């Protein structure tokens, strides 16, 4: 019976050592992990599983120590159990430190990658901006040339308009002079018409007076011949 118990204790101890070595190897993998975060999470999941298995085997070893008939064997197994528990705690501490170092390295690497992407983006943006400035400058030059042509056309049109206005002004001035001349002629004609109208009235009065005188003379002669006694 004691021999069978020793076999179980030995098998349990070997499994504890196996889990301890596997945990140490995983911790080293965590220290060397280049990322990304998903790879670190996968390694941590494996470590958690190994710690659970190790914790269960240590508990089994502790239970086996309580079942020993020999006080010496019980104390020896308890001592081994305590040693393995301390080793597990040491592994947990190393695991936490490895995680911190790995996360820091991954963060730094991600920062560097981000900075590199930002620099590349900035370089591309500067290049694009430069090309855009060249294109914009070319467009502005073309726009200025187009505006210059339009202004030249406007100046030409203004010159033609001024010339037309000047011609129109001369025509209006000449027409005004003609109107003045016509007004003088009309005024003179009106004076002549009024003069002729006055002369015609005078002539009519003279004719009327002459006729009246003639009639008076005739009547006087007739009176003398026909009625001499009057």
Domains of the chain are 1-121 (1.20.58.400)
Question: Which range has the worst mean pLDDT, 16-20, 26-30, 135-139, 211-215?
Answer: 135-139
Interaxial angle between packed helices 71-226 and 2-32, expressed in degrees from 0 to 180 and rounded to the nearest 10? 30
User: Regarding predicted confidence, which is higher, 105 or 147?
Assistant: 105
Three-state SS at 132 = helix
pTM recorded for the entire structure: 0.49
**What tens digit of pLDDT does each residue of 22-34 get?**
999 999 999 999 8
CA 175, CA 183: separation in Å to the nearest integer?
A: 12
Specify the pLDDT at position 84: 93
Residue indicated by tokens 């308890």? 78
Spatial separation of the C-alpha atoms in residues 67 and 39, rounded to whole Å: 43
At 60-114, the pLDDT tens digits run 999 988 888 888 888 999 999 999 999 999 999 999 999 999 999 898 888 888 8
Identify the CA nearest to 72 among candidates 123, 127, 2, 138.
2
pLDDT digits (tens, 9 = 90+) for 154-209: 767 767 756 765 665 676 577 567 657 766 776 776 777 777 677 778 878 888 88
Q: How far apart are CA 64 and CA 56, in angstroms?
A: 12
Per-residue tokens: 204: 């009519």
φ/ψ of residue 119, rounded to 5: -65, -45
């Amino acid at each position: 019976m004691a021999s069978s118990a020793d076999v179980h204790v030995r098998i349990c101890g070997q499994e504890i050592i196996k889990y301890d070595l596997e945990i140490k190897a995983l911790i080293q993998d965590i220290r060397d992990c280049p990322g990304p975060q998903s790879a670190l999470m996968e390694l941590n999941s494996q470590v958690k599983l190994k710690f659970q298995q190790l914790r269960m085997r240590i508990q089994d070893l502790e239970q086996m120590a309580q079942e020993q008939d020999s006080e010496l064997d019980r104390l020896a197994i308890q001592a081994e159990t305590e040693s393995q528990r301390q080793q597990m705690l040491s592994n947990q501490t190393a695991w936490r430190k490895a995680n911190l170092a790995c996360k820091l390295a991954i963060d730094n690497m991600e920062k560097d990658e981000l900075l590199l992407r930002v620099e590349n983006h900035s370089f591309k943006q500067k290049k694009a901006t430069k090309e855009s400035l060249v294109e914009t400058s070319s467009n502005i030059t073309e726009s200025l040339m187009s505006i210059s042509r339009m202004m030249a056309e406007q100046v030409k049109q203004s010159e033609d308009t001024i010339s037309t206005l000047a011609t129109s002004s001369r025509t209006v001035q000449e027409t005004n002079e003609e109107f003045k001349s016509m007004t003088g002629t009309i005024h003179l004609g009106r004076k002549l018409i009024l003069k002729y109208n006055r002369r015609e009235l005078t002539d009519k009065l003279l004719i009327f007076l002459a006729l009246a005188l003639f009639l008076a003379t005739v009547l006087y002669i007739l009176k003398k011949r026909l009625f001499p006694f009057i």
